[in-house]
Chains A and B, each alone.
Chain A
Amino acid sequence: MFSGIKIGRGVTWFALAAAVVLTVFPFYWMVRTALTPAADLYTDSTALWPQNPTLINFARILGLVSAEEARAAGGSGAHIDFLLYTTNSLVYSGLIAVVQTFCCAMAGYAFARLRFPGRDLAFAVIVAALMVPPIFTLLPNFVLVKQLGILNTIPGLVLPSLLMTPFAVFFLRQFFLSIPRDVEEAATLEGISRWGMFWRIVLPMSRGPLITIGLTTVVWSWKDYLWPLLVGKGESTRVLTVGLGVFLQQSPNRAPDWTGLMAGSVLSILPVLLLLVFLGKRLVQSMNFSGMK
């Protein structure tokens, strides 16, 4: 009986270890490929560590070497600048996360605490928008951005998501409803304004949920592909995901430039990985139904 339990434990730990290996190994392989010289790919694509590790793939996708050198290292020689794409991605997801979370917090607070005619109707209408899948508003929003003449600009990229997303309004209202009223009532007696209440009392109390929803927004906008592809495919506004897609298409007639692509893929992961390293505990512990979109 006792040994039976022990074997059972062993099997379950093994299953967990297998899950970790299965999760991590493909990323290891991505890094390994990125460190392999393109010329070696056909002779050296299976060993666990490359024979001649190199950083040239990173250098050439960051635009640090000349077109000739890039071609010699296996690239197409076409202009590619992942440094710019990374910056664009950071601006895109950072702007959206900060502004959107703040605006949604304001609205969530009004919906939870202020009383005024039309409030519940407005809330119901916004929540109903949760039912419209993104692709449906995507087409007309593309037309709108095109008509406004802001295709391939940062405003064109961020505007549709900058001010709100129905889920964040819903989520933050839910949270504000759960705060005990005592604190606010005490402040009310001292004659604090509504804005002062929100800014000085409610927001500082809500750091946890605000970070949760902000982080989730950062991650989702970091991963965005279709919208930036339609609206920001131009070189100056290209985000990382779009840059990877364009890079992939640059060698249509021969095998993809795998070593360069994997180097770009590593770059597309690094910033969010850093986020996980620094805020991992917070992110993991806040994981409940809040993280869902």
Chain B
Amino acid sequence: MHAVGTRLDAGTGRRPGLLGRGGGPRRRRDDRLVGWLFLLPVIVGFLIFYAYPTVRGVWYSFTDYSLLNDPAYVGADNYRQLVSDDQFWNALKVTGYYVVVNIVSQTVLALGLAALMHRLTRSVVLRATLLVPWLVPNVTIGLLWAWMLDPDLGFVNHLLGLAGLDATLSFNSPAWAMPLVALVNSWAYTGYTALLLYAGMLQIPPHLYEGAAIDGAGEVRMFRSITLPLLRPILALVLVVSLIGSFQIFDTVAVVYGGKAPIPETRVIYYYIYQQAFTYFHMGYASAVAMVLVVILGVLTAVQMRMLRASRSDLG
């Protein structure tokens, strides 16, 4: 990796100002070769596994492709089919439902949890404990809750029985399936989200709270007048990042039905794409559906990038 260019100006300054800027007394190295060498692995990985597949994906969405034959160009047929595909619209709808329940419950709980930690304790053990579900594969979380919510033997339904309730919570109940999936994932990611928000709260100068306390403000008042407004940029960023992740729900619904396809009420967009591509081998159509997701997530990510840049400059 010791490229020749790196030492050009080191000793004698034989070729000063190689990069232009008038060749003043400042030493400036020629990084042309080294620069690209440093980038080489990333560029190779990027071209082969990001750029090329992206182009290929767009191309597939205009073809009829079953994995066995070569892709055959069909124009916008896949997109026309998509508009009148009830299952596609259903997938969009249930994903939207999931995202709303998941994001709202998770953010509200995480905000409360973060505020409690912020005002009460700095305990690392507590934070580590709350982080545990985030470390666990979604597959494991899905299995665990499929067991906890087993209609006959599950502990949750046992508790409901003890409480004298006749209801049975199950992923097979059309009404309960999606809220349950959403709550299970909120369970898994609330601690993680809370820690992110907590980190944001630590940036708020403590003297603001001291001053407010002297003025006789209660905790609720401080939360509303100090914590929430000052946390807003970070809260917004966390929200957008969670939203993007939330749209990509797959593992949980793939697992809680014992490896069988989910019921229509929980057949989310990711699962629908997977099913079209790998159960029915409609690669072209699956790519068209994925394109729709790209557009939705692209907008969200653009927002995220702007926020990331903005919040970084503020927080240093």
Main secondary structure of the interface of A (DSSP, over half): helix
- The residue in chain A whose Cβ has the minimal distance to the Cβ of B184 is A26
Of B89-97, B100-108, B204-212, B253-261, the stretch lying at the interface with chain A is B253-261
User: Which B residues between 80 and 131 are near A, CB-CB below 8 angstroms?
Assistant: 112-113, 116-117, 119-121, 124, 126-131
Question: How far does the Cβ of B242 sit from chain A's closest Cβ, in whole Å?
Answer: 9
State the CA gap A115–B118 with chains docked (Å).
Answer: 43
Residues in B neighbouring A146, C-beta threshold 8 A: 67
Once bound together, how far apart are the Cα atoms of A7 and B11, in whole Å?
73
Write the A106-147 contact mask toward B (1 if CB under 8 angstroms, else 0): 110111001111010010011101111111110111011010
Q: Closest approach, in angstroms, between the C-beta of B245 and any C-beta of chain A?
A: 8
Main secondary structure of the interface of B (DSSP, over half): helix
Contact A103 B45 (CB under 8 A): yes
B116 pairs with A15, CB closer than 8 A: yes
- Are the CB atoms of A265 and B143 closer together than 8 Å? yes
Q: Are A162 and B45 in contact (CB under 8 A)?
A: yes
User: Which are the 4 A-B pairs with shortest beta-carbon distances?
Assistant: A163-B45, A116-B35, A140-B53, A110-B38
Structural contact, B290 and A281, CB atoms closer than 8 A? no
Instruction: Say yes or no: is A12 at the interface (Cβ < 8 Å to chain B).
Output: yes
**Contact (Cβ within 8 A) A268 B153:** no
Give how many A residues have a beta carbon under 8 Å from the other chain's beta carbons: 104
Return 20 A-B CB contacts under 8 Å, by A number.
A12-B120, A27-B144, A107-B43, A114-B34, A114-B38, A116-B34, A122-B43, A129-B54, A132-B294, A136-B287, A146-B67, A226-B254, A241-B139, A245-B259, A248-B143, A248-B259, A261-B143, A276-B131, A276-B132, A289-B196
Q: Which of A30, A225, A281 contacts B250 (CB 8 A)?
A: A225
Residue in contact with B42 in the complex, picked from A41, A169, A281, A291, CB distance below 8 Å: A169
The stretch of B164-172, B173-181, B305-313 that contacts the partner chain: B305-313
Q: Restricting to A230-258, which residues have a CB under 8 Å from any CB of B?
A: 230, 240-241, 244-245, 248-249, 252, 255-256, 258
Contact between chains at A163 and B135 (CB < 8 Å): no
Interface assignment of B274: CB less than 8 Å from any CB of chain A: yes
Asked whether A135 lies within 8 Å of B273 as measured between CB atoms, the reply is: yes
Known contacts A15-B112, A107-B38; A164 and B135 CB within 8 A of each other: no
B182 at the interface (CB under 8 A from A): no
From B3, B38, B293, A109 is in contact (CB under 8 Å) with B38
- A residues sitting closer than 8 Å to B (CB atoms) are 8-9, 12-13, 15-16, 19-20, 22-24, 26-27, 29-30, 33, 41-42, 45-46, 103-104, 106-107, 109-111, 114-117, 119, 122, 125-127, 129-137, 139-141, 143-144, 146, 159-164, 166, 169, 174, 178, 188, 191, 193-195, 198, 219, 222-226, 230, 240-241, 244-245, 248-249, 252, 255-256, 258, 261-262, 265, 268-269, 272-273, 275-276, 280-281, 283-285, 287-289, 291-293
Q: For the complex, what is the distance from the CA of A40 to the CA of B62, rounded to whole Å? A: 55
Question: Is A103's CB under 8 angstroms from B153's CB?
Answer: no
Write the nearest CB–CB distance from A161 to chain B, whole angstroms: 8
CB–CB A219/B135 < 8 A: yes
Find out whether the CB atom of B147 lies under 8 angstroms from the CB atom of A261.
yes
